[in-house]
Structure 1
Amino acid sequence: MDRRKFIRGVASGAAGLGAASSLAAPALAQDKPKIQWRCVSSFPRSLPALFGASEYIARYVGEMTDGAFEIQPFAAGEIVPGGQVLDAVQSDTVEMGHTAAYYYVGKDPTFAFGTTVPFMLNARQQNAWFYRGGGNELLDKFFEKQGIFARPAGNTGAQMGGWYRKEINSLADMKGLKMRIAGLAGEVMAKLGVVPQQIPAGDIYAALEKGTLDAVEFVGPYDDEKLGFVKVAPYYYYPAWWEGGAATHAMISLDKWNDLPKPYQAVLKAACEAANGNMLATYDWENPKAIRSLVGSGAQLRPFGQEIMQASFKAAGEVMTDISARNADFKTLYDSQTGFRRESYLWDQLAEYNFDTFMMIQQRQGAI
């Protein structure tokens, strides 16, 4: 064989393979425009599960794009206050925010479905509704009217019912109680005689310590321990019937989202979904340790009595029915969730409930 001809043939083949590889490479590898975004959070850096979601998304996006798509997270108050994240995104002050949608029920009560609605879905059901039950698509239509694109980016799981200066033994004990509480739960609590307050995380402790508040709910043991509520309000009630599975969202300026290259959109969606699962795993891991620590620090665990639970359930139904009658967007999402709730609890009472109940009995008996 002619050695020169052979070498020329190999070189020609290699060049052809190189060209084919270039043509076959995914769009993200071919063209990675440099993009820098800012993401403002509703949460302080002292709450690593909540603020950490924006850091997680930023790291995931950066690694997936080799640093071409850079998102810089900012904690509450560093650019805008925690309660103004949506406003900052809508006004294009920043490209993106990480927040709880139900903080903005004052703008439209439909925002509540982005986080949670009283006596509705737990975390697993919430995710099933978002990703398989059309929840994301229904919310897309609502969010588009608000000038944003959003995706679930965290869930706390079922939350605790809050910290109280005094014991709550009956509905009468709820009358006149000044309580920090978020979302539509404030309207429900008002029907029970509570005076609801909405205060950002960083200001809650001072208000509770000064007596401006009689009670406060935030999330659960992992976060609540860091915020120090046990020092000023020893009674720790459960469950938060208003937060069976509270989701957080990444909210993005709709214009910025539409301008984002399609591969970057896919990466950002994937990052949000990853952050969604990571937050729930974090709380499931950290809460057991934190509740032991809180009890050791003097927290006195108390369940809400059946009188309070039943009255709250009835009041929540009245609030939801009233809002549905005057808000078509709200009714659309409420009907979707209630339909799924009915079917989901039909199933959940079989395998999951009975398995968990048996295992909890074993735990109480010291068998595990």
Structure 2
Amino acid sequence: MSSTLERHAVAVGELLVGEGPAVVIGGRVSLRAHRGQVDAREVLRERAALVEPFSAAELPAIAELADAVVVGAAWTRDIPLVRAASGLGLPVVVERRSSASMEEWLMLADYCAAEGDGRVILCERGRLDLGLMRAARAASGRPVLADVSQDVGLSAAAVAAGADGLIVDGGPERDLTGESGRTGGAGRSGVIGTYKGAGVADPVRGAARGFVRAEDLADGLVARLQVGPTADQAPVPGQAEARRVAEEAVTIVGALIRHETPATLPECREAIDRVDAALATLLERRVELAGTVQRLKPVGGFAGRDADREHALVVAMARRAPTLGEALLAPIMNAIIEAGLHLSEQRGRE
């Protein structure tokens, strides 16, 4: 555990943010809407993951009932409150003010780390600039969260851009300062690569670097993770549905993007489960495409198999999976192709 924490991973309750799988965090609570007129303990009642204070008077309750304190985007310039929140002895989640540059964001994070015990997490919220978020993570070495509460359809894009966790609070939140978490209807085309370029040829590689727009991601994966229309066309989904979408994103996209080094057998099995979920999603997509091929080919079914193309496919896959190599990949791909053909024939008879 110590070697992991040295790489700036931060524990928030039972979740480790920054290494291993991406996580989903629910329960961001802002006390600002109450403007100090309600006892913080009455609002919280029970333990919450992330809590944003309105004033220093609420910090004792937050220290008792929160897993982390939030330095909110609406008041990052309130230095006395920032200093007091940072000194609580809790992890500090530093949100970026919408007009703040990356340098300003990271300077504030460094200040919070110096005033506290060093456990600082960056958080991009509001109209998400996921390319900038990715760059901030690389420049600072600190873990980053993306608050997708206002457009959960960006969950997959956020994980692909390198988010170590997603915040989902299940509905719109607007405090009385006028700061809003709304994304402005970004939907699937929300920004993921505005920082230092966008639009690379290989969407998966590009996503790993953070230089690809959301619409350039693998359409099958992102479509599977969407919740109906984009945010400017439909209400924000309920908390249970939003959390499901976020969890699908950290599971499926995370399996493709995030490198894991599990240290225990349970952790290893959990990592395998995530990879298998991604495999199942891709296999389902492949079967759909294989069915389309069968409808387009003049000779379909098993009679239409192209041995040269199948061999070329195995050779190309072996370059991406050299540990398996052609010898082991060939029977695997043959089984996948045959399963698709059997399903196509079965559907043809129905």
TM range (shorter): under 0.3
Taking CA–CA contacts closer than 8 Å with sequence separation of 6 or more, which of the two structures ends up with the larger relative contact order?
1
Structure with bigger gyration radius: 1
Question: If each structure's helix is expressed as a fraction of its own residues, which one has the higher value?
Answer: 1
TM-score normalised to the size of structure 1? 0.27
TM-score (norm 2): 0.28
